[in-house]
Amino acid sequence: MELDKKAFAMRLDEYLARITPFGFSGALLVASDGQVLVRRGYGLADWSENLANTPETVFCLGSVTKQFTAAAVMRLFELGKLDPQDPVGKYIGGFPEDKSGITLHHLLTHTSGLASYTGGDYEPADREQLLETLLEAPLQFSPGSEYAYSNAGYSLLAALVEIVSGQPYEQFLYEHLLAPAGLEQTGYRRPDWDGRRIASWYRGAVDNGHALEKHYPSWNVLGNGEMLSTLDDLLHWDRALRDGRVLGKETQARMYTPAMQEYGYGWRIGSTGYGTLIEHNGASDLGSSALFRRYLDAGLVVVLFCNRSYGGLPMVQPLQDVVEQLLDGERLVLPPEAGPFGAEDLAALEGRFRLTSGGEVQLSREGPGLTFSAEGQDAINFLAFPKGPPSLHTSLNEVTLAAFSAAAGGDFDALFALMENSQSRRARVQRMVTQHLETAETAYGALRALEMVGTVPSTFYPQALDTLLGLRFEGGSAAFISITREGRNIGVAALEELDGFALPAVPYREGILGYHIPLGRTFKLDTLLGETGEVTGLQAIPGGQVAKRV
């Protein structure tokens, strides 16, 4: 398939620029055979100081970090220090008998059966604490028999890099990989960054700061995620790998050979109309996310950073689908261009608005713009389904809440009954739900209640619905999303924080304009004015429903 890479880069740049007023914030690099086609920042790196994202801004890699850990392991292989088929116990004394079958290959491909979670990303933990917690936890399955993504497994690999090399992980990485590849702006603490160059992370209206303001790096995250980098450094990394400057071609071929679930060594491997795709994404529940894609045969590189979440989900999640759509030449529905507006325009629109049916819509200032949030299914419908919601909303909310409430008590029969392809999915879904509940209980204490947030247009699949369920614990909250199409559950997702339906918006002509990024859908509301020009209500277009200011 022929690819016009320059046209693709220009269209992706235009799309990101147009959605920036509606919630996007980050940076993009597109390069063809080393030639930069787009290199640009969008939105703000710091809301409080009105600092813009630039091509030089430092962002969080999330799980894109894993490829560097895998490369460090394979560099030790080239130096004759280890072999991926070695058992992990060869390097760690007192390795538990039940885990004696785990090899480095199992860790690299997420087939070890080890737990994924050992503690919060920024909770203090040293190497010995990591090893003790991880090796005491029961195996999820026999090593090599299944695939289950394990962050902690990659931290164990980082520990092995230190044990085998005799150097701190970051120092080995720099001397043997980063420096030879020309990466001087990538790492945890080694680069001497100016704090103003690092993008802060935003989830909703919450400013979560950035990594250097936290306990960082904790061994809960070291080697598996949250390393910092830049657009240019990832382009240098692609060039160094292509040129064989840091790892030999045969070594890379082993890394790019998929095991289960198309996962190789620190990379996901795919096949496209343009040839082989080597890629990884990464995300944090604090608001950062990243995507690094290398179309090897086409000579195309795409680097996308985001420092703001979208409706509680990683912003990169819907955008990676957009990349594929634009590569395939699909036309996207862009939002209207948002005109200039000032703080006084935003202030005039802020407030709570109540529907006659009782639901409420909150319009609040969030960074450079506004965000709608909805309380109650009728309020969600007002924003998300102006032409009227699907008829099954009420029953879908009821049966989903009942099924997950039973699952929280250990009875999964009702959830399995809702699932499409239940036989092939049930073990994986049960394990994921159970692990999410156990992880949240470890962090927040006992589960107090499940509550229905509502059903919204799906962020994951076209023509599907997402039903959001909140989990209330003694000291915090989490959530599940049940993804449904034609009344059947086709997926389950876990969220580390509870968010309802939110929609970034801007003042627009005689009303308010919102654009739902995952759906590619524009939402318009008229403002109703009082005698002195104040905003007294909002009216849906079309549909005519009115929410009055309270």
pLDDT score recorded for residue 392: 66
| CA distances to 134, 164, 249, 449 from 101, in Å | 15, 19, 29, 40
Instruction: Assess contact for 448 and 406: CB atoms under 8 A.
Output: no
For the stretch 46-63, what's the b/e string if a residue is b when 16 or more beta carbons lie within 10 angstroms of its beta carbon? bbeeeeebbeebbbbbbb
Q: What is the pLDDT of residues 464-517, one digit of tens each?
A: 889 999 999 999 888 999 999 988 999 998 887 777 778 888 988 778 988 888
| CA distances to 103, 104, 160, 244 from 84, in Å | 7, 5, 12, 20
DSSP letters for 303-316? EEEE-B-BTTB-TH
Q: What is the pLDDT of residues 241-289, one digit of tens each?
A: 999 999 999 999 999 999 999 999 999 999 998 899 999 999 998 999 9
d(CA 190, CA 171): 8
pLDDT score recorded for residue 187: 97
Beta-bridge partners for 503: 372
| Residue/partner pairs of 460-469 with CB below 8 Å, 24 or more apart | 460/317, 460/491, 460/493, 460/518, 461/485, 461/490, 461/491, 464/490, 465/390, 465/396, 467/396, 467/397, 467/400, 468/499, 468/500, 468/501, 469/400, 469/401, 469/404
| Residue/partner pairs of 419-423 with CB below 8 Å, 24 or more apart | 419/488, 419/489, 420/485, 420/488, 420/489, 420/490
pLDDT score recorded for residue 494: 87
Residue 327 has a CB neighbour count (10 Å cut-off) of 24
Q: Which residues of the chain have pLDDT under 50?
A: none
pLDDT score recorded for residue 44: 96
Instruction: Assess contact for 158 and 222: CB atoms under 8 A.
Output: yes
pLDDT score recorded for residue 115: 87
- SS3 percent helix, strand, coil of the chain, rounded to 5, is 35, 30, 40
pLDDT score recorded for residue 106: 98
pTM for the model: 0.91
Q: What is the pLDDT of residues 58-94, one digit of tens each?
A: 999 999 999 999 999 999 999 999 999 999 999 988 8
Instruction: Assess contact for 527 and 513: CB atoms under 8 A.
Output: no
> How are beta strands 447-457 and 511-516 bridged, if at all?
unpaired
For the stretch 460-474, what's the b/e string if a residue is b when 16 or more beta carbons lie within 10 angstroms of its beta carbon? beeebbbbbbbbebe
